Structure 1
């Protein structure tokens, strides 16, 4: 069984152009031995707009929403909206626009406004109605489940968790809302 799994992984890495490079070690929150796929469903317009974060890997618990902006001031961008709280308990949501460089269908390299941080954003899966999406990155540094609504759609959220697990993510690490 292990030999067949290794052979399948090797063939997947060698033959599929929409896959990330395969490695030998687990990195971040996913096993790099498992190829990471990107959905071919829909267009950029279909995945654009506001998404609520319904689950995330540790380290992104303050992330509330992700807005995929196909064109902001002439360039693609992604807005990351985080909830920040003061020591006195006052909280607010603060959005930050990250420039996005398209890498292919449903894949971007996003860079912070200060230019000091970058990450890839891959749409691994999206449901037929473009209501729920599984987001990941080849290095496994983070994974998100996004939905068009802040509540509901538990069947789709479960499906997104299963898709992330299939793509090598440790679904037990996901912090759900």
Structure 2
């Protein structure tokens, strides 16, 4: 076999090999878990985005927030968030699609990976790791911020890319 053919075959094999890295903020090798005890009826009201995963400083992107409310046919959401340097909005009916898993209009499903016992802090991620963010009802305490960072880490998210606002 000529060297050129061998190089071409090696190149094709490298391209076809499965990658352990995905474009996102978490390792695909780590399992991700949603909160089985999450109760959507307890999140009604206004939440402020207090942290998110980001590849950079995002100078033009301000932290946003989410409002959960009761609608005529069930829970609804109105959200404006800073996700990796982009303002992302979602509005409309919210559907629970599994334990701690919400179908959000115009976005991929949100997985609640942690909520504190007082329902003051929500850590939300995605299985593909394309985004992750932290919501709080008030000014977040250092201990809850630290706990959320540890939960994200446990679910495969990169600690180096976790940015508190």
TM-score, with length taken from structure 1: 0.67
Maintained 8 Å contact 2:38/2:99? no
Structure 2: runs of 5 or more not aligned: 1-17, 83-87
**1:7 aligned partner:** none
2:52 matched residue in structure 1: 56
Larger Rg belongs to: 2
Q: Paired residues, what number? A: 138
Cα deviation per residue 1:76-121 (whole Å; 9 max; x = unaligned)?
Answer: 33211358xxxxxxxxxx9751443321122112123xxxxx2111
The match for 1:35 among 12, 31, 34 is 31
Query: What's the secondary structure of 1:157's corresponding residue?
Result: helix
- Indicate conservation of the 8 Å contact 1:44/1:105, yes or no: no
Aligned positions of 1:28-177 closer than 5 A: 28-58=24-54, 61-69=61-69, 71-82=70-81, 96-112=90-106, 118-149=107-138, 151-177=139-165
Distance 2:46 2:97 in 1: 21
Pick the structure with more strand per residue.
1
Task: Look up the SS of the partner of 1:125 in the other structure.
Answer: strand
Kindly tell me: are residues 173 and 140 of structure 1, through their superposed partners in 2, closer, same or farther at Cα, counting changes over 3 Å?
A: same
Between 71-80 and 134-143, the greater mean CA deviation after superposition? 71-80
